Structure 1
Amino acid sequence: MVAARAQQSSGDYYEGLSRKIGFSQMIAPHGLEITYDKTVHVIFPAPVRYVDLGSTNLIAGKADGAENVIRVKAAKKHFRQETNMSVITEDGNFYTFNVKYADEPLLLNVEMCDFIHDGETVNQPNNAMEIYLQDLDNESPRLVRLIMKSVYKQDKRKIRHIGSKRFGVQFLLKGLYAHNDLLYFHTQVKNRTNVPFDVDFVTYKIIDKKVVKRTAMQEQVIYPLRAFNYVTRINGQSSGCTVFALPKFTIPDDKKLVVEMCEKQGGRHQSFEVDNDDLMLAETINELKVR
């Protein structure tokens, strides 16, 4: 009888030794109504990186051509059991929804405007949780954004010898910063003409310093991970700054980094070069000053 009692389960996980999750650890979900004959769109303040659906009663996916909009609808009519949906966005926030069927949903287009914040801890919503993303080398997306924002707002020109000036347009490297495994390039475009400059793309490429004719030029393209205030048009007699976050890299002695900005449907292309010596002088970011 004693042995039987010893083997009897208490009904709790790990025989009552597990700690219960309190409400302070809970991310409160939002309620979301969906239906079969209409599509509900949920708009987030940052591009969506991950979506998980609680059951096959839901169909969801990114809206075509929009990275921050999720479309959701019911896979079958009048399902009765409530389910859920979870979303992770590029800024490292986690969102959760309890989803149920409704013949006529109250809201067909939902903007998560209460999640739009400036990155400060005091302004974080109580139902968003920061996620560390692999493409940022597990750096905090919120901290990356704060660093870019801080560099942009301070707007200091730390570098004065790197840039290009052609056709009345200037493309400058104002500053170069380093924090953990990321590099931050602070760039500026000045348009001294009266014709607007539309940016087609900006590329970062490591190429050979000396290219022998009739041989293939070796290029290593480095793709920016994030951009703060990405300028796509510079009106006449105006300027604009952008801060790019790139993965950490170094430049061999026989190579150089070429940063090229091409004009859309135009020929006023700009480019400047960065050597490894310049890269090694990148200013260290003081994390305490940007938090």
Structure 2
Amino acid sequence: MKAYIFIIALVLAVEKTSAQQPITLDTIYANDQKNVALFFPEPIRQGITGSENFVFTYNREKEQYFGLLQAKPGMESNLLVVNRNGSVFSYIVKYKKQLDRLNYFIPKSKSIGNEKPIVADSAKVNESKKELGNEVYYYQKFSSYLLDRKQRINRLQKRNEGIVLSIENIVFDKDELYFVIQIENKSTLDYDLNFLKLSVETRQKGKRKSLQRLYQEPIFKYNSPSKVAENETVRLVYVLPKFSISNDRRAVLELNEKNGERSLKLKVSHRFINNPN
């Protein structure tokens, strides 16, 4: 009964927030002799069936892109799957003794909506914690905690014409790295940000030295500014999927000024990345 209530509530929420027309659900057949594999465009965060004679298994500890469906003889039911990015997929599931298909590669276009409401005005995003996905809300709260904590690692700092870029802390939590960053404007001019990005550089040895750079895309940014006013200090957090680097690589935090020349590159040794707090 709880499973039915959960599925009905979430489907209704998706239909309401997406303002969609009535949806015709596809049917997936399964039995108790073979595994039917469902491959999704994003890792599975949650999957649930409406009846006990259907079982959908997936990796609950480490999110993966596929799940396995089995069924016992009985009435048809439904399957609801939520991906890591909040995309919702819903199917009718039926028992069938002889299966014609064992693998389903599901495209993004099959999503019936998103669990998070689509907010037209970005100022409304923070109106309620309930409107944020569980992961986003966790990133927000943990980032706020890190800024209040004020824990610092060894000096990682770069200066240029009154602008000071610092990495105060690097923290590992769950499967993510949190970079606590500070931008200080000691000049008499406002500093407009063009971008602040983190990349990994590979130092090529030999006569012709070169650098290969791979940009690391944050999955969440907390308190990220577009401008740092004169005599102002801004502290922010970048959240990235956990990664490590070899001793011939280094991370580079690059701050670039919009319509200006006060740009900085802060180089971070592999020791800090591989040994976070």
Range of TM-score over shorter length: 0.5 to 0.7
Could you say if the C-alpha distance between residues 30 and 265 of structure 1 is closer, same or farther in structure 2, counting changes exceeding 3 Å?
same
1:94 alignment partner in structure 2: 116
2:9 alignment partner in structure 1: 26
Report deviation, 1:20.
8.1
For the aligned residues, what is the CA RMSD?
Answer: 3.7
Could you say if the C-alpha distance between residues 208 and 55 of structure 1 is closer, same or farther in structure 2, counting changes exceeding 3 Å?
same
Q: State how 1:98-137 maps to structure 2 within 5 Å.
A: 116-117=126-127, 119=129, 124=130, 130=133
Could you say if the C-alpha distance between residues 254 and 262 of structure 1 is closer, same or farther in structure 2, counting changes exceeding 3 Å?
same
In the alignment, is residue 146 of structure 1 matched against residue 168 of structure 2?
A: no
Distance, in Å, in 1 between the alignment partners of 2:3 and 2:179 is 46
Distance, in Å, in 2 between the alignment partners of 1:159 and 1:240 is 18
1:273 alignment partner in structure 2: 267
Distance, in Å, in 2 between the alignment partners of 1:172 and 1:230 is 14
Q: 1:258·1:271 contact (CA, 8 Å) conserved in 2?
A: yes
Q: 2:14·2:113 contact (CA, 8 Å) conserved in 1?
A: no
Distance, in Å, in 2 between the alignment partners of 1:31 and 1:161 is 51
Secondary structure at 2:116's aligned position in 1? strand
2:41 alignment partner in structure 1: none
Report deviation, 1:116.
3.9
2:215 alignment partner in structure 1: 221
Q: State how 1:1-291 maps to structure 2 within 5 Å.
A: 21-22=4-5, 26=9, 29=13, 53-54=20-21, 87-88=113-114, 93-95=115-117, 116-117=126-127, 119=129, 124=130, 130=133, 140-152=135-147, 154=148, 156-209=150-203, 214=208, 216-283=210-277
How many residues of Structure 1 are paired with residues of Structure 2 in the alignment? 189
Q: 1:204·1:259 contact (CA, 8 Å) conserved in 2?
A: yes
Could you say if the C-alpha distance between residues 195 and 250 of structure 1 is closer, same or farther in structure 2, counting changes exceeding 3 Å?
same
Instruction: Describe the superposition over 1:133-191 as per-residue Cα deviations: whole angstroms up to 9, x where unpaired.
Output: xxxxxxx2321222122223x05041241110111110000111111211000000111
Q: 1:251·1:275 contact (CA, 8 Å) conserved in 2?
A: no
Report deviation, 1:251.
1.1
Larger radius of gyration: 1
Could you say if the C-alpha distance between residues 155 and 171 of structure 1 is closer, same or farther in structure 2, counting changes exceeding 3 Å?
farther
Report deviation, 1:272.
1.2
Letter in 1 for 2:140: R
Percentage identity across paired residues of the two chains: 16
Could you say if the C-alpha distance between residues 113 and 173 of structure 1 is closer, same or farther in structure 2, counting changes exceeding 3 Å?
closer
Gaps of 5+ in 1: 1-17, 33-41, 43-50, 57-85, 97-108, 132-139, 284-291
Letter in 1 for 2:4: I
Q: Given the two structures, how large is their TM-score scaled by the length of structure 2?
A: 0.57
Secondary structure at 2:218's aligned position in 1? coil
Distance, in Å, in 1 between the alignment partners of 2:173 and 2:232 is 31
Distance, in Å, in 2 between the alignment partners of 1:204 and 1:111 is 28
Distance, in Å, in 1 between the alignment partners of 2:159 and 2:218 is 23
Secondary structure at 1:217's aligned position in 2? strand
Instruction: Describe the superposition over 1:84-139 as per-residue Cα deviations: whole angstroms up to 9, x where unpaired.
Output: xx753xxxx5349xxxxxxxxxxxx98698874464xxxx37xx8x46xxxxxxxx
Q: Given the two structures, how large is their TM-score scaled by the length of structure 1?
A: 0.54
Report deviation, 1:257.
0.7
Secondary structure at 1:53's aligned position in 2? coil
Gaps of 5+ in 2: 24-111
Distance, in Å, in 1 between the alignment partners of 2:123 and 2:191 is 32
